[in-house]
Amino acid sequence: MEITTLAHNLRTHRPAGAPTLPDHFVWPRYEGLSVGNLAGTIGQALGAALPGVLPPLRDDLLDGLLDGVQRVVLVVIDALGWETLQDVMARRPDLIFHRLAAQGRLWPITTTFLSTTNSVLSVIHTGRAPLEHGLLAYSLFLREWQMAVEAISFSAIHRPFTGTLAEWGFEAEKFLPVPGIGQLLAVQGVASYALTLDAFVKTPLAVMHNRGMQNVFGYATASDFWLMLRRILEQRPGRGFVSAYWSAVDTLAHRLGPLDESGDAEIVSLALLMEEIFFNRLTPAARAGTLLLLTADHGQITTPPEAAILLDQHPVLLDALFLPPLGEGRVPFFHVRNGHYETVRQYLDDHFAGQFVFFSQDELLHSGLLGPGVPYAETPHRLGDIIGIATGNAYVARDAESVEKKPMLGRHGGLTPEEMLVPLLAVRLDF
């Protein structure tokens, strides 16, 4: 199989019975070609049974790399889309990514839907589809708390990152209805560790994802990231799993757009530090039996201010909702007032046709976009009544002032190739 063949397959695939979608939309490949299949692969590589998780990655993607694996290192680089990485590598033939791909494998795969960090990382760290874990998007209506929250620090939506729910007794370790990979591996006698930014270590989202981990390490800078990752491998021999997360590519793409030079510089810098601090200094003992998997949670698409749909210009729509649209700017969840469903659906079709496609809650739940499995009881309530998916670079925003004060020139969440296609770099460190 060639990369171009797989990339074409990912861009054009539609399963039997799939809803009609724009031709350029990318379908999430939960059956073995997505980041959702990483947990199954990690268990497979380590000889650990992980009940309930999605199947492992398709055999031909990692052919020959799993034999004799004792440790798996998973590096997730937030917003490192497949197209972005390909572009950087084409212009920088000296980057270590070329050599690692030659020694191992480099493939495009899909992320999951919604293509947004807290949802995708929840898939990666549980091995369960969004339909089952229920942490669907950045902002959600939590029926159990009767409030709209920002679902990273789990704070009231209008007071983000203030720890609102924690003050009221929110227990992050009990929020997800499915176990984490650290918990599943621990039962099998496999130690696991996590590495994330210092500021993220104790956030509710990190606590949810790192349940069962023996230790969660924090880092301060990019050099510290690779140094800490190397030390974890060198100081903790034996069968194990290490999860590492880097966020800066996403941060820059949000602020300046995914095509800005800053993103290129960040990826190049990260690769150079990876080579010098991690690979060149890794001991033979730390390399032995170690498989590195490097991927991303999503890509990003350029979203200029003029692409914003300003909700304050649609009072008829807002009046028919009992909450402002939640979810993501590119995948808004509309919670409709009783008796106003048809009004809202007609309004959306009349005013936003060509910029969004719309699903009812039931249509989306049964579409397969959120993956296989039995829906978590709260998933329907968090989705709302109508869900939109941006077809181009559109997004919804409160008003012009909110766009001007905090412009986000890059966004994600939707089904475009820029958002959905991510790299899978797999290599044995004892090559």
**What is the rounded CA–CA span in Å between residue 10 and residue 29?**
8
The closest alpha carbon to 247, from 188, 187, 213, 297, belongs to: 297
pLDDT band at 387 (very low <50, low <70, confident <90, very high): very high
pLDDT average, residue stretch 85-103 = 96
State residue 122 phi and psi, 5-degree precision: -65, -35
The helix (H) or strand (E) run that includes residue 74 is strand 71-77
Segment 409-415 mean pLDDT: 98
Helix-strand-coil split of the chain, %, nearest 5? 40, 20, 40
Give the bridge partners for 245, in sequence order.
76
pLDDT for 159 equals: 86
The residue-averaged pLDDT of 232-238 equals 92
Both tokens of 217, joined, read 């390490």
User: Rounded mean pLDDT of the chain?
Assistant: 96
User: Is 74 a residue whose pLDDT tops 80?
Assistant: yes
Q: What is the mean pLDDT of residues 411-416?
A: 98
Of residues 164 and 292, more confidently modeled: 292
Q: Give the pLDDT score at 104.
A: 97
pLDDT at 71: 97
Instruction: Give residue-wise pLDDT tens across range 129-162.
Output: 999 999 999 999 999 999 999 999 999 998 888 8
Give the mean model confidence (pLDDT) for residues 317-342.
Answer: 97
CB 301 within 8 A of CB 24: no
* Type of residue numbered 210: N
Res. 166 pLDDT band, cuts 50 70 90: confident
- Look at the alpha carbons of 314, 319, 324, 325 in this order and tell me if their dihedral is positive or negative: negative
Kindly state the percentage of the chain with pLDDT values over 90: 94
Of residues 30 and 156, the one with the higher pLDDT is 30
pLDDT tens-place string over residues 33-56: 999 999 999 999 999 999 999 999
Whether 1 has a pLDDT exceeding 80, the answer reads: no
Q: What mean pLDDT comes out for the span 396-425?
A: 95
- Plot region of 218 (φ>0 → left; ψ -120 to 50 → alpha; else → beta): beta
Model confidence at 264: pLDDT above 80: yes
Average pLDDT over residues 346-364: 97
Within 13 Å and on the Cβ side, how many CA atoms surround 75?
A: 22
Please say if the pLDDT value at position 167 is more than 90: no
In our burial notation (b when 16+ CB lie closer than 10 A, e otherwise), range 288-321 reads ebbbbbbbbbbbbbebeeebbbebeebeebeebb
- What is the pLDDT at residue 123? 98
Taking alpha carbons only, the member of 369, 332, 368 closest to residue 348 is 332
19: Cβ contacts below 8 Å, ≥ 6 apart: 359, 363, 367
pLDDT exceeds cutoff 80 at 81? yes
Distance of alpha carbon 160 from alpha carbon 48, whole angstroms: 38
- Both tokens of residue 353? 């046709």
Query: Quick one: pLDDT at residue 406?
Result: 85
- Pairwise CA distance, residues 149 & 139, whole Å: 6
pLDDT tens profile 266-303: 999 999 999 999 999 999 999 999 999 999 999 999 99
> Which residues lie closer than 8 Å to 399 by C-beta, 6 or more apart?
310, 311, 312
Mean pLDDT of 359-383: 97
pTM of the model: 0.97
pLDDT of residue 428: 98
Question: What crossing angle do the helices spanning 248-256 and 261-273 adopt, rounded to 10°?
Answer: 170
Q: Give bridge partners of residue 326 from the DSSP assignment.
A: 333
The sign of the CA dihedral 120, 124, 125, 129 is: positive
